[in-house]
Amino acid sequence: MAIDTGLSGTAELTVTAADTAAALGSGDVPVLGTPRVLALAEAATVAALDGHLDDGRTTVGTEVRLAHTAPTPVGARVTATAHLALVEGRRLVFEVAVVQGDRRVAAGTVERVVVDRERFLSGVRREGE
């Protein structure tokens, strides 16, 4: 299958105590933690590619640039959107944004690379081997 720019995907989250900086160890405040913001943005990139990869193929994250600029309280709903902006061979660059209603919470880019799933997994070394 061909992967072209313009693909987009979303992922949503209602913030719980488990999603906070305090719970994730990335701070001590009870607001949406940056690691969870990043995971949500990556989930949107994966959603954008759903149904567009050849059998046996998957993508892995390789680089992230993310500015987390606004706090989000527990109970708030946030939505991440990813737009595929650049395709260079196997390299895919997404522009991502996370919003709470009409307020931007975070924005940046997520790069992923298309890999053969089995080949990638065969290269993973197990601890102790």
Instruction: Give, for 55, the enclosing helix (H) or strand (E).
Output: none
Contact yes or no for 45/52 (Cβ under 8 A): no
Residues with a catalytic annotation lie at 34, 42, 68
Task: State yes or no: 61 annotated in a binding site.
Answer: yes
Structure confidence at residue 124 as a pLDDT band (50, 70, 90): confident
Kindly give, in sequence order, each residue whose CB lies less than 8 Å from that of residue 63, ignoring residues fewer than 6 positions away.
109, 110, 111
pLDDT over 60 at 128, yes or no? no
CATH of 8-122, one of 3.10.129.10, 3.20.20.70, 3.30.56.10, 3.30.1360.40: 3.10.129.10
Alpha-carbon separation of residue 63 from 21, 66, 98, 101, 106 (angstroms): 22, 10, 17, 27, 16
For 17-60, write each residue's pLDDT tens digit.
999 999 999 999 999 999 999 999 999 999 999 999 999 999 99
| pTM (global) more than 0.75 | yes
Compute the distance between CA of residue 108 and CA of residue 95 in angstroms, rounded to an integer: 6
- Check residue 125 and give its pLDDT: 75
Contact yes or no for 24/7 (Cβ under 8 A): no
Listed by start position, the domains of the chain span 8-122
Task: State yes or no: 103 annotated in a binding site.
Answer: no
